[in-house]
Amino acid sequence: MALVKSLLDKTPVFGENCFLAETAVIIGDVVIGNDCSIWYGAVLRGDVHYIRIGNNTNVQDNAVIHATFKKSPTNIGDNVTIAHGAIVHGCTIHHNVMIGMNAVVLDDAVIESNSIVAAGSVVSKGTHVESGTVYAGIPAKKIKDISPELLEGEIKRIAKAYSMYSSWHK
């Protein structure tokens, strides 16, 4: 079972049918929706502000989700993939988004629905990623629009796949 720890009178809350890997750490003011998976080594630390995660979202191995003290909470929507080693900090991520491996999304950034932040990218503080786009680089900039094939074949496919993968680990 994951390390689930109350802190400052706040206890993490989980929806139905969630998978929490044995080495995941979820602390404090964290609320996770239904059918989510939090993978090995992931850390969700709701100690300085809240973290809210929607339904069917996966937080993959060694990802870190945090916030900024009394200033910038973290809000993550439905059908979101936070890939291996990503850092999501004090930002808002809407629905149907993929944050690539080792990407960083910083405070007050907004990632609109149906978007991708490419692996290894850094989304600077306050950046606004428009719906239907791919952002890449350091700092991340728009590189292209998302085709219907990319939306279905990557973003939605991966979110569905992780729901299946988590059933193997339960």
Average pLDDT over residues 17-45: 98
Tokens representing 69 are: 């003290």
Number of domains observed in the structure of the chain: 1
Sort 156 into a burial class: Cβ within 10 Å, 0-12 / 13-18 / 19+.
Answer: middle
Distance CA 71, CA 61 (A): 27
Which residue matches tokens 């496919």? 157
User: By three-state DSSP, how is residue 117 classified?
Assistant: strand
| Count of residues in the chain | 170
pLDDT confidence of 167, banded at 50, 70, 90? very high
Quick one: pLDDT at residue 51? 98
Average of per-residue pLDDT values in the chain: 96
Average pLDDT over residues 141-160: 90
pLDDT tens figures, 101-121: 999 999 999 999 999 999 999
The gap from C-alpha 31 to its chain's centroid, in whole angstroms, comes to 13
* Residues in a beta bridge with 135: 117, 142
Other C-beta atoms lying within 10 Å of the C-beta of residue 71: 11
CATH of the domain at 94: 2.160.10.10
Percentage of the chain surpassing pLDDT 70? Answer: 100
Average pLDDT over residues 8-29: 97
Q: Which domain holds residue 75?
A: 3-169
Quick one: pLDDT at residue 170? 83
The gap from C-alpha 122 to its chain's centroid, in whole angstroms, comes to 14
Cβ neighbours for 61, distance < 8 A, ≥ 6 positions apart: 21, 39, 40, 41, 42, 84, 85
Quick one: pLDDT at residue 55? 98
Q: How much is the pTM?
A: 0.96
Average pLDDT over residues 133-160: 92
Sort 77 into a burial class: Cβ within 10 Å, 0-12 / 13-18 / 19+.
Answer: buried
Other C-beta atoms lying within 10 Å of the C-beta of residue 144: 12
